[in-house]
Structure 1
């Protein structure tokens, strides 16, 4: 048996195959949707996944305003932030964050599911969130996928 023929192939920036994917958020639960989107951004569904390389897809989320939260989480869940000044701790609920913009809520939730380093920041830049069904990325010919079929 020739063991030299079995080599682990690591993807790099030049050999990675990035795609554009459209995900419809209508009647999806926010946390479950965000975890699958984080896996798509990271590239975990690809056989050529490499942990230290941006090998994930560019993800476009449409109908972001039609997402669901179970229970009374729209008003009971609290996200804390700090202004950097003494006494500057602020509390926000998902409902107040959604009023400021859909992109803020999705980026906050997905960011917590990505690596906390430079790669995670770069991966978060591959996420695009839109409230309606229209998006300005038609030139990239994105393919639409059913998020419920992913594990």
Structure 2
């Protein structure tokens, strides 16, 4: 019996074999899209997933201005943050966030699905979000992934 064949290989950032992926967000539901994007940039879709390493792919999300929310979430859902000052609790709806920038909706949704530590902040840097269909990452030759 060869005991070396039973060793678990732990992937590091250098040996992860990262790729570039492009996802079209036109007519996609925000939560379903965000969970798939979080899974891809975390690396959970790979067979050599390592929880303590940045082994996910880089993701480009385009057409975020055409994203959908189900039900009455455009007006009823509320994003709350606190400025740190007395009386500094701020409320915003997804409609208000989209008017400012539609990339904020996807960024907030994906950030909430990642670990809340140094690794999560490092992984979020592998996410590139653009409102239109144009992006400056053609040189990386991204692979297109369809998400329903």
TM-score (norm 1): 0.94
* 1:11-70, Cα deviation, whole Å (9 max, x unpaired): 012211111100001111100100000000100001110000000011000110111100
Task: Indicate the RMSD between aligned Cα atoms, in angstroms.
Answer: 1.0
Say whether the 8 Å CA contact 1:102–1:129 is kept in structure 2: no
| Alignment of structure 1 residues 131-142 onto 2, 5 Å | 131-142=131-142
Q: In the alignment, what sits opposite 1:66?
A: 66
Q: Aligned to 2:23, what secondary structure does the other structure show?
A: strand
Does 2:98 align with 1:109?
A: no
Structure 2 residue aligned with 1:26 = 26
Task: Report the 3-state secondary structure (helix = DSSP H, G, I; strand = E; otherwise coil) of the residue aligned with 1:106.
Answer: helix
| Unaligned segments of structure 1, at least 5 residues | none
Answer whether contact 1:103 1:128 (CA < 8 A) is retained. Answer: no
Structure 2: gaps (5+ residues): none
Q: Which residue of 2 aligns with 1:83?
A: 83
Equivalent residues, number: 148
Q: Return the alpha-carbon distance in structure 2 between the equivalents of residues 16 and 3 of structure 1.
A: 24
1:57–1:126 contact (8 Å) kept in structure 2: yes
Cα distance between partner residues in 1 of 2:103 and 2:29? 16
> Contact 2:52–2:119 (CA<8 Å) still a contact in 1?
yes
Cα distance in 2, alignment partners of residues 64 and 4 from structure 1: 47
Runs in 1 of length 4+ with deviation above 6 angstroms? none
